[in-house]
Chain A
């Protein structure tokens, strides 16, 4: 069983690579496009995958940040993310993973409860972001945020590491789901 490990390869010069994992390719593509529109000094690359594990015969750079995209309208998307999480090494969860939920704005289409993703993110000690990716403005803002996170995880932001960013995000979190 192939497992994604962070820091298992040498970084490429000035490159930051993100991996978006989610079942709806169109959404991932749009998000990747928005991320790449951002102006930044580093070379960005975005890999898109429906689920993990990734094909093993491919030569790919070190992955700095994994974003798991869950569509609250689709149990299928949650299932695939849950199965994919098993293929990620534990050390990735020290600030190099985040969860992104889309579709919360249309409550009547949601078949996954908000608490479910909150619990999932809490279990994996990783940040959970909400964004309706289908709305262009929201998507652009989220893309900016993700690029910033990606740069931190790639070590391109002096003085901030993935782990320190994680603890910064953690302190503003709402109380754990058991208390909700």
Chain B
């Protein structure tokens, strides 16, 4: 393990606050339980870090392992960074991008390494199919600077990428890498499985309607998992309308306001399952189904 890696690991572990130390080391999973038990976690932080680095040396930690630790630290401390959001635009004649994670990682790394000889690229999978990418930038002549990496958080089913912008000069290259990446994978068949009804004494009368609902739901929401959204909010502002002449509210100049908020651990999946579960009609109101298309989840509905 060379000095650069050792120093890098030392500085990274030093950043970790004591109360998170065990959690992060466990998540890193590079040092085994047994090895961790040989360390005294009650000593002064500098000494603790020294011991940990020695253990890493014994285990021959690579630059990749160190980068992984850095990603984990950043994941826990993501709120300390300022993130930019980029929206990837598809070329008009391109078919729907079908995503294979491993292939993406492979070609992404290759493209960057081709463009810039000295670059460290590391990946870590996260919840909800997301992937964290860490890129340490170098130049044709200098080694990558491990202390100023860029992080990219990618949710493959969406056109959005989050980046922690450290080095503005490398942004165009990053953008280009995403454009260049072209993954065509065979379509994975996702069929909505209807319960296999073994008992022939149960007869479903409305199979035609059920099939229609499944079809409409699939047309509206597609086959792949929905992007994870936790709430949607609708504000309605409208003047009182009445057929009757007069009445207390007819004179009211102030519009009536109403706020409806939907919240759920996974709102779009919940909406998708409404019609098949028999809780709502299919097709659903366009106010609900337009959320992914419009990329909005705050709506103001006014009188025309």
Contact = CB atoms under 8 A, between A and B. Distances in A.
Interface of A: 19, 22-26, 29, 32-33, 36, 43-51, 54-55, 58, 60, 74, 76-77
Contact of A74 (B202, B204, B208, B279): B279
Nearest to B280: A76
B202 A58 contact: no
Contacts of A47: 202-205
B203 A46 contact: yes
Contacts of B208: 55
B278 A25 contact: yes
Most chain A beta-carbon contacts within 10 A, residue among B199, B201, B208, B277: B201
A32 B210 CA distance: 18
Contact of B277 (A26, A45, A54): A26
A55 B279 contact: no
B263 to A, nearest CB: 15
Contacts of A22: 278
Interface string B248-286: 000000000000000000000000000001111100000
B201 A77 contact: no
19 contacts: A23-B279, A24-B279, A32-B199, A32-B202, A36-B199, A36-B201, A36-B202, A44-B201, A45-B201, A45-B203, A46-B201, A46-B203, A49-B204, A50-B205, A50-B209, A55-B205, A60-B203, A74-B279, A76-B280
Contacts of B278: 22-26, 50, 76-77
Contacts of A25: 204, 210, 277-278
B206 interface: yes
- Prevailing SS type, chain B contact patch: loop
A49 B199 CA distance: 16
Give the residue among A23, A25, A45 with the most B Cβ atoms within 10 A. Answer: A25
B280 A54 contact: no
A50 B205 CA distance: 8
Pairs of residues from A and B, 8 with the lowest C-beta to C-beta distance, nearest first: A23-B278, A49-B205, A24-B278, A50-B206, A47-B203, A32-B202, A45-B201, A54-B205
Contacts of A54: 205
Contact of A29 (B195, B205, B206, B280): B195
Nearest to B213: A50
B277 to A, nearest CB: 6
Contacts of B279: 23-24, 74, 76-77
Nearest to B203: A47
Contacts of B202: 29, 32-33, 36, 45-48
Contacts of B203: 45-48, 60
Given A25-B210, A29-B195, A48 B205 contact: yes
A50 B278 CA distance: 8
Interface in B188-231: 195, 197, 199, 201-206, 208-210
A133 B37 CA distance: 51
B205 A33 contact: no
Contact of A58 (B197, B205, B210, B277): B205
Nearest to A50: B206
A44 B202 CA distance: 9
B85 to A, nearest CB: 37
A55 B210 CA distance: 13
Given A45-B203, A48-B204, A55-B208, 14 more contacts: A19-B205, A25-B277, A25-B278, A33-B202, A36-B201, A43-B201, A47-B205, A48-B206, A49-B205, A50-B210, A55-B206, A74-B279, A77-B278, A77-B279
A20 B277 CA distance: 16
Interface in B54-74: none
A49 B201 contact: no
Contact of B206 (A24, A26, A49, A76): A49
B202 to A, nearest CB: 5
A46 B195 CA distance: 17
Contacts of A55: 205-206, 208
A62 B81 CA distance: 69
